[in-house]
Amino acid sequence: MSIHINRKDEHVLLANKFYTPETSSDFDALKFVHHSLPQVNYDDISITTTVAGLTFDTPFFINGMTGGSENTYQINRDLATVARETGLAMASGSISAALKHPEVIKSYSIMREINPNGILFANLGAEHSVENGKRAVDILQANALQLHVNAAQELVMPEGGRQFDHWLNTIQLMVEQVGVPVIVKEVGFGMSRETIELLKSIGVASIDISGRGGTNFAAIENARRPHNDLDFLEDWGQSTVISLLEAYNNHASLDIIASGGIRTPLDMIKAYSLGAKSCGLSGQFLHLIQEKGIDETCETVTLWQEQLKTIMTLLGAQTLPHLIKSDIILSPSLTSWCQNRMID
């Protein structure tokens, strides 16, 4: 397999270089009220969930990252092994590279080879035609298609796209015609209520609000610019918690996925309590697989699955939807955002 897509390797290198688990995050600005009589048993807790009509034994997954080169082939192969061993769903990185350069298809299709029965999402940019969507789904025999909306990344990326006026239309065509469920996702800049309602109005039913707080593509792309001149955009966007608050009024009518800077099972539980049905993790899985390898990454996943149940027991929530009734206290900064945006 020849190496064509240098950008993919640069993204992996820079994501790892900048990887620092946030010591403070908007997830810390949200606290649960502790009640002393949970009235559920650990063994009765269920962590299954349903998103885009698909049922998942575990409510977190390996979110879209990579493919398109020799190095990323190995990353996808190893992460797909973790997904198979632990029953996690997994998304590819953008498959557009394989549509232009068929010789790199294997760096994506390896995920299906390794994990023939797993749930896989193919990933493409929002600008793509339905034909490209079908080709991407085909390469992975994917169960769903993630369409990323990454205007902030494109604008900072030196060679990025500059035309966005057709995205809503291309997304709608994809939803209507691609033949698998479509998940529209951000890439770490978060979403607003207006974006979510616009997507809902064209028939999108599953949305990954992917917020700020983890992997930062403004910083990554700025580091790739000759003069690093767009550093003032590095804190652009809404955090994952704020994006979930923006989505809150729609959580019952849409499948909301949380991603962006999710560090621990407690962060995940906070996301579910704000209406998320699943959590996606990218930077952290990239770091784990490269630094710790397959076995330790699998052990971490098993630990997280158990820890989710521990916290749910403490909160008296037998299933994920029960978490929405949890008593939550928001910090003044989150409360002020809600008041300004009239979220109740």
Annotated binding site for substrate: 7-8, 153
Binding-site residue numbers are: 7-8, 64-66, 94, 123, 153-154, 185, 210, 215, 261-263, 282-283
Choose between 120 and 317: whose C-beta lies nearer to ligand FNR. 120
Handedness of CA 17, 334, 36, 321 (dihedral sign): negative
The CB-of-34 to ligand FNR minimum distance in angstroms stands at 28
Based on the shown chain and the rule CB under 6 A, indicate whether residue 265 belongs to the binding site for ligand FNR: no
Cα 132 versus chain centre, distance: 21
Based on the shown chain and the rule CB under 6 A, indicate whether residue 63 belongs to the binding site for ligand FNR: yes
Based on the shown chain and the rule CB under 6 A, indicate whether residue 171 belongs to the binding site for ligand FNR: no
In the block, which residue shows the tokens 């910090």? 331
The CB-of-323 to ligand FNR minimum distance in angstroms stands at 20
Choose between 243 and 284: whose C-beta lies nearer to ligand FNR. 284
Q: How far apart are CA 54 and CA 142, in angstroms?
A: 12
Handedness of CA 114, 280, 133, 150 (dihedral sign): negative
Member of 25, 66, 195, 243 binding ligand FNR (CB under 6 A) = 66
Binding-site residue numbers for Mg(2+) are: 154
Based on the shown chain and the rule CB under 6 A, indicate whether residue 188 belongs to the binding site for ligand FNR: yes
Choose between 71 and 319: whose C-beta lies nearer to ligand FNR. 71
Distances (CA, A) of 95 to 120, 137, 209, 227, 319: 13, 9, 20, 29, 35
Residues 123-142 that bind ligand FNR (CB under 6 A): 123
Choose between 49 and 239: whose C-beta lies nearer to ligand FNR. 239
Residues 89-128 that bind ligand FNR (CB under 6 A): 93-94, 123
Q: How far apart are CA 125 and CA 180, in angstroms?
A: 16
Cα 278 versus chain centre, distance: 9
Choose between 181 and 261: whose C-beta lies nearer to ligand FNR. 261
Contact 244, 190 (CB under 8 A): no
Choose between 189 and 248: whose C-beta lies nearer to ligand FNR. 189
Q: How far apart are CA 53 and CA 271, in angstroms?
A: 20
Q: How far apart are CA 253 and CA 250, in angstroms?
A: 5
Q: Is 327 exposed, middle or buried (0-12, 13-18, 19+ CB in 10 A)?
A: exposed
List contacts with ligand FNR (CB under 6 A).
11-12, 15, 63-66, 93-94, 123, 146, 148, 185, 187-188, 210, 214-215, 259-262, 281-284, 286
